[in-house]
């Protein structure tokens, strides 16, 4: 009201206070609603959230979402600023060159579960068994793990095991053409181009959709999960044997499906349950 009477913009008054050109009340220097917690208290709450998390790192959006059940409602910009200032942000890969145009046509995510799965493989080391293989199948809508397998030999049969698990779990059986309408995104690894692998997909009724180098979409859903697996599990353990690795990976995937936060701050299990009920 005072600014309106004097015909002065409020932004001019606030800017003058920030520059020290005018003596204004200290509590008016920060625009917007006043928060109950100071920056120091909020940082301690964020540290507690990160300590209680089942995962190695959480971004500022997920930390903000995990503060809400505690009755702490703060802006994402404030959370980002405090996490950055206190070194609490999750590690981020920095490339040597600036990103190019990230826009592309089409999308690989789906609106309903069990319409498209992605599969991929990686290797990890154990002291007793040497290099071993991990295979996974991830849903492109829910991004939950529908099947996974570890093996000493990474052949076409090992690559098929996550698909078989997913079909048995989500298709209520294992029979010819039981998975009609389902697509499988994979790369051009020899396991996936093998005659036996492609033949079993056809027997199940699964549509093979190979990704191509240079496609922005590519096999991104499965590859993004692989990055999470490495950063949150494989890189953190010095496995003695393949059996120890199997137990650690099994525990992580259970935590991932039940606790990893997706866009919308829901877990993969919650998203699948909601979409399944909606479809019913």
Listed residue (14, 71, 22) closest to 42, CA to CA: 71
Note down pLDDT in tens along the chain; length 280 residues. Answer: 888 888 888 888 887 776 655 555 544 445 555 668 889 999 999 999 999 988 887 889 999 999 999 989 998 899 999 999 999 988 766 655 454 445 555 678 899 999 999 999 999 999 999 999 999 999 999 999 999 999 999 999 999 999 999 999 999 899 999 999 999 999 999 999 999 999 999 999 999 998 876 666 688 899 999 999 999 999 999 999 999 999 999 999 999 999 999 888 899 999 999 998 887 6
The answer to whether the pTM exceeds 0.75 is no
Rounded to whole angstroms, how far apart are CA atoms 130 and 45? 42
Angle between helices 39-52 and 76-85 (to 10 degrees): 80
Cβ contact 176:204 at 8 Å: yes
> What domains appear along the chain, each with residue ranges and CATH number?
2-85 (no CATH), 116-279 (3.30.420.10)
- Determine the 3-state secondary structure of 191 from DSSP: helix
């Amino acid at each position: 009201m005072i600014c309106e009477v004097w015909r002065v913009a409020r932004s001019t008054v606030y800017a003058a206070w920030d520059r020290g050109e005018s003596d204004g009340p200290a509590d008016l220097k920060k625009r917007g609603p006043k928060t109950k917690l100071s920056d120091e208290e909020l940082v301690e709450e964020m540290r507690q959230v990160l300590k209680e998390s089942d995962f190695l790192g959480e971004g500022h959006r997920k930390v903000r979402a995990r503060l809400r059940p505690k009755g702490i409602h703060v802006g994402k910009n404030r959370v980002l600023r405090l996490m950055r200032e206190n070194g609490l942000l999750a590690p981020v890969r920095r490339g040597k060159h600036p990103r190019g145009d990230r826009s592309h046509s089409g999308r690989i995510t789906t609106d309903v579960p069990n319409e498209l799965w992605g599969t991929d493989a990686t290797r990890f080391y154990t002291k007793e068994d040497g290099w071993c293989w991990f295979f996974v199948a991830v849903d492109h809508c829910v991004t939950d793990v529908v099947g996974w397998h570890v093996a000493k030999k990474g052949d076409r049969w090992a690559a098929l095991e996550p698909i078989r698990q997913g079909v048995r779990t989500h298709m209520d059986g294992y029979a010819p053409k039981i998975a009609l309408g389902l697509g499988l995104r994979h790369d051009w690894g020899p396991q996936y181009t093998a005659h036996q692998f492609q033949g079993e997909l056809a027997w199940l009724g699964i549509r093979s959709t190979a990704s191509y180098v240079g496609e922005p979409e590519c096999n991104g859903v499965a590859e993004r999960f692989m990055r999470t697996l490495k950063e949150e599990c494989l890189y953190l353990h010095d496995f003695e044997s393949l059996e120890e690795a199997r137990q650690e990976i099994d525990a992580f995937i259970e935590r991932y499906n039940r606790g990893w936060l997706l866009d919308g701050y829901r877990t993969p299990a919650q998203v699948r349950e909601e979409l399944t009920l909606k479809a019913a």
